[in-house]
C-alpha cells in the first residue's frame, strides 16, 4: 500500500499532510513543499512510495478550521522517538484547545519540572503538527517561543482556539 500526501488550503496557508499506508499522519505542516514535510519524518518511518491523494486527516484539518477543534483528536499519528519524546507527544495531544501550557508546565506534566529544554525539544521534533498540537506550548513569560511553521501560524492557531474555548 502506498503512503499519501495531500495539500489543502487553510486560513493559515497551505497545509500538507503525509499519511502512511495505515492512514496515520507521519508529518504535516503549513507548507506546499512536500519535500520539507517528508524530511520531518523520522528516517525509519519514511515511506518508500508516496502518491498524491485524498486523506481523512485533511478532512479533519478542514473541520478543525471550520470550528470543530476536536476533529483532529481522533486522527491517528505515528512518530519514532525516545521514551520521553513518545510520552511528550502523547501529552501534547491532551492539552485542551484554548488552554496552552508553558514549557515549564509541560515539563512538569512529563514528570520532570526541570527538563524545560527537553520539553522544548519534544515540541521542535514533532512531525505531525496540528494533529499533535505543539503550538499549545508557550514560553514561561507567555510569549510564543518557536514554531517550525512560523510564529504567525502559531498565533493564528492559538487565537482560533481561544476564541472557541468553552469554560
Q: Which listed residue (50, 115, 132, 134) is catalytic?
A: 134
State the cell numbers at 140: 514561561
Long-range contacts of 84-88 (CB under 8 A, 24+ apart): 84/110, 84/112, 84/115, 84/118, 84/122, 85/121, 85/122, 85/125, 88/118, 88/119, 88/122, 88/123
134 is catalytic: yes
Give the dihedral sign, CA 135/136/137/140.
positive
Q: 144 and 154 in contact (C-beta within 8 Å)? A: yes
∠ CA 114-107-144, nearest 5°, is 110
Active site residues: 134
Amino acid at each position: 500500500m502506498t503512503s499519501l500526501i495531500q495539500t489543502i488550503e487553510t486560513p493559515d496557508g497551505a497545509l500538507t499532510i503525509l499519511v502512511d499506508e495505515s492512514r496515520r499522519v507521519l508529518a504535516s505542516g503549513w507548507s506546499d513543499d512536500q519535500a520539507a514535510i517528508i524530511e520531518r519524518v523520522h528516517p525509519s518511518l519514511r515511506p518508500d512510495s508516496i502518491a498524491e491523494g485524498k486523506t481523512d486527516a485533511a478532512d479533519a484539518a478542514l473541520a478543525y478550521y471550520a470550528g470543530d477543534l476536536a476533529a483532529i483528536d481522533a486522527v491517528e499519528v505515528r512518530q519514532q522517538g525516545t521514551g520521553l519524546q513518545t510520552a511528550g507527544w502523547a501529552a501534547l495531544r491532551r492539552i485542551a484547545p484554548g488552554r496552552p501550557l508553558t514549557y515549564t508546565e509541560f515539563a512538569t506534566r512529563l514528570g520532570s519540572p526541570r527538563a524545560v529544554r527537553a520539553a522544548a525539544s519534544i515540541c521542535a521534533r514533532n512531525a505531525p503538527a496540528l494533529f499533535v498540537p505543539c503550538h499549545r506550548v508557550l514560553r514561561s513569560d507567555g510569549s510564543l517561543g518557536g514554531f517550525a511553521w512560523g510564529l504567525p501560524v502559531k498565533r493564528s492557531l492559538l487565537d482560533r482556539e481561544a476564541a472557541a474555548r468553552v469554560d
